[in-house]
Chains A and B, each alone.
Chain A
Amino acid sequence: MAEELIDHTIEGTSQHAQQAPEVLNEHRAWAIGIAGWLVPGLGHALQRMWGRAGVVFLAVGLLVITGARMRGNVFTSKGNDAFDTLGYVADLGTGSFYLAARALEVNGADVSHAGGDYGTRFLATAGVLNLLAALHAFEAARGRKA
């Protein structure tokens, strides 16, 4: 009886020892994914993927700066319809760069001409691209081929 109990305890401890690194790895992957969302490219930089980190940072940054300077619409949480909400979700995808876009666009949006409309698309694309990159960093941290 005592031997069975000891065996069971050892087996349980061994399983815990195997599971612990997996759980830790999963937590690390989530942290990397969230870091990649908050600061474009950080998720890859934390995994020493310097080329990808630099390109994601520059691509998202360029799209946000160009979009804001073209006076695209930076959506807020106070949207009037579902499209505004979708735009807000897409813009939030840029993480901290969303605040930069708000700060850059001091004169407000002007979508009465094509440039402003293109700017709106650039900002939304920057957000979606950053979400894609954060997901890529998350998957790479989980050990998937990336």
Chain B
Amino acid sequence: MTGSLTLTHIQAFLFFAAVISVAFGYLGRRQPKDRLKYILWSFFLFLVVGIGIGWAMYPFSR
């Protein structure tokens, strides 16, 4: 495994959000239905907050 991996910003962002949401869902809830709801909600919040912060920083990027 010597080749380096290249991900775009959005790919890295989605990968991070998905992995952490699943881990949080499994650690934080016991029942499968509760876990699924928690995972989806957590993933959604990651997206909203991440994209929100991205847009908030946009005026300062130029």
Q: Could you list which residues of chain A lie within 8 angstroms of chain B, going by C-beta atoms? A: 51-52, 55-56, 59, 62-63, 65-66, 69-71, 104, 106-107, 110, 114-115, 118, 121-122, 125, 129, 132-133, 136
Whether the pair A56, B4 counts as a contact (CB closer than 8 A) is: no
Is B49 at the interface (CB under 8 A from chain A)? no
Instruction: Tell me which of A55, A70, A107 contacts B6 (CB under 8 A).
Output: A70
Q: Does more than half of chain A's interface fall in helix, strand or loop, or is it mixed?
A: helix
Q: Report the number of A-B residue pairs with Cβ-Cβ less than 8 Å.
A: 55
A126 (CB) vs chain B CBs: closest residue: B19
Cβ of A115 and Cβ of B16 under 8 Å apart?
Answer: no
Kindly report which residue of chain A lies nearest to residue B21, judged by CB atoms: A59
How far is A56 from B27 in the complex, measured between Cα atoms in Å? Answer: 8
B20 touches A129 (CB 8 A): yes
> B residues within 8 Å of A by Cβ?
1-7, 9, 12, 15-16, 19-20, 22-23, 26-27
Query: CA–CA, A71 to B20, complex, Å?
Result: 20
Q: List 18 contacting pairs A-B, 8 Å CB cutoff, sorted by A.
A: A52-B26, A52-B27, A55-B22, A55-B23, A55-B26, A59-B20, A59-B23, A69-B5, A70-B4, A70-B5, A70-B7, A71-B4, A106-B2, A114-B9, A115-B4, A125-B20, A129-B23, A136-B27
**Residue numbers in A under 8 Å from B7 (CB-CB):** 66, 70, 115, 118
Beyond A55-B26, A133-B23, A133-B27, whether A125 also contacts B4 by CB under 8 A is: no
B49 to chain A, nearest CB (A): 15
Residues of B within 8 A of A122 (CB): 12, 16
Point out the residues of chain A lying under 8 angstroms from B19, CB to CB.
59, 62-63
